[in-house]
Amino acid sequence: DIVMTQSPLSLPVTPGEPASISCRSSQSLLQSDGYNYLDWYVQKPGQSPQLLIYLGSIGASGVPDRFSGSGSGTDFTLKISRVEAEDVGVYYCMQALQTPLTFGQGTRLQIK
């Protein structure tokens, strides 16, 4: 199984400041079609998870453009250009390359 490792696990951020979350996979998520099979999700307090980024860097419908995904192979990053209070929640990366699909441990973003 592919192991997903996120860092940091806790991320306090001042509103208006940028934030960055790292995700590493135990094997490459880059397929021959040129896509990295890596998703980012956020679970806001009391809510179901929602898709932010898929195929490594493509923003899901309705996601603000302050969220961006980058990276390739085994190293990926989710960046928030300017954190807002509504961004509080737990962020997960997930590999979509092969079953069993596997998630990272989650990164809890808090507002300072």
* Nearest 10 degrees: Cα torsion 16, 54, 51, 78: -30
Q: Could you tell me the two tokens for 68?
A: 């961006």
Q: Among all chains, which residue has been given the structure tokens 């199984």?
A: 1
Query: What's the CA gap between 88 and 90, in Å, rounded?
Result: 7
Site for other proteins in 16-35 (CB under 8 A): none
10 vs 14, which CB is nearer to other proteins?
A: 10
Assign 16 to helix, strand or coil.
coil
Nearest partner of 2 among 107, 103, 106, judged by Cα:
103
Q: How deeply is 56 buried, as exposed, middle or buried, from its count of CB atoms within 10 A (0-12, 13-18, 19+)? A: buried
Nearest distance from C-beta of residue 61 to other proteins, angstroms? 7
Among 43, 57, 70, 77, binds other proteins (CB under 8 A): 43
11 binds other proteins (CB under 8 A): no
| Count of residues of this chain found to bind other proteins when the rule CB under 8 A is applied | 26
Nearest distance from C-beta of residue 109 to other proteins, angstroms? 14
Site for other proteins in 64-103 (CB under 8 A): 90, 92, 94-96, 99-103
Footprint of other proteins (CB under 8 A)? 1, 37, 39, 41, 43, 48-51, 54-55, 60-61, 90, 92, 94-96, 99-106
